[in-house]
Structure 1
């Protein structure tokens, strides 16, 4: 593998190197977990289809529909629910990881510098905005170039909140606020709507934009560190 040395950055604040490694390991672990879960579910689906085809092939065509509903429909619904819960769980875990990394970075800054205002002093009902404001207002980072990465993450936080607090079922006024990016859709039923992570590309894209944001954030922090210490 050819290494592009132009993309290698040596941090002046050495602790940031270890922070970057921890960020990268976490992101890669989630990608691996996502791939393993998806592959496992595909295997389950394939085995289920083979079993159904084998059973139905022994019946007359007019009997197959009724037999399927009585014997197999419950298992089909279970597999579909497993897929939904599996992707929901990943979404929750990814946001927990991302917010944890931001909190850790803020703690590093607090430990290194004696700013009077601490991250917990900032009033915000939203953790992402609290950390964002700490970087800008307390550490005085210029994050204009990072906003294009932060905004998509912030927009998808509503999906995380719906999963965590409402089992993925938005109220009518919430439905309008959901940014339907690749891999996510809203299924409408008679009595409710359901946010569905229809494709793992949603998870992978979310991880990629978080990874890019964290990398560029650490670069901005290091440049600010150089300015302060000099």
Structure 2
């Protein structure tokens, strides 16, 4: 995996065209892609009357990255975290940016108007060829690992312990194949969960120590 930081862009080169599943703005669902990208933004970049999707597609086209699975964040991209795990020959790699400025407790909502949306964006690559069904299961493992890491960081809100943010995005990637499962009892599930947990935990702890403002709940 090759990670390139070229502000305001962060790019993960997946090495080859693989199957990617996400709810990204520009290429959601099951797609084939060779890279996953982040675009750093500020409130001034996104005025209320802006068609964000059209603007972002234009930005990606200008960079020659229209084929990428793409995410947005106001988190400082210099603060990206990576983690790897290998279990029984299956290797997982995670790249994450972690901000909790619009954190939420699942099942509740807070008024986040006027805040920078730091968000949590995660890209996970597994080197084991997976079926689409297994990729869906992998997405659930990544979300579970994200939630566990955020809760362990201990960001308390008026609504309870934070479990994520209101604008999280996760992209999971693997070569297309026949492996039918990627659950917690499998080496691929263990490796993926550990990589995501470790990357998000590092990012969340850094945010709590160095970024959290006195007015953050």
State TM-score, norm by structure 2: 0.25
The structure in which a higher percent of residues are strand is 2
Structure with more relative contact order (C-alpha pairs < 8 Å, separation 6 or more) = 1
State TM-score, norm by structure 1: 0.24
Instruction: Pick the structure with greater CA Rg.
Output: 1
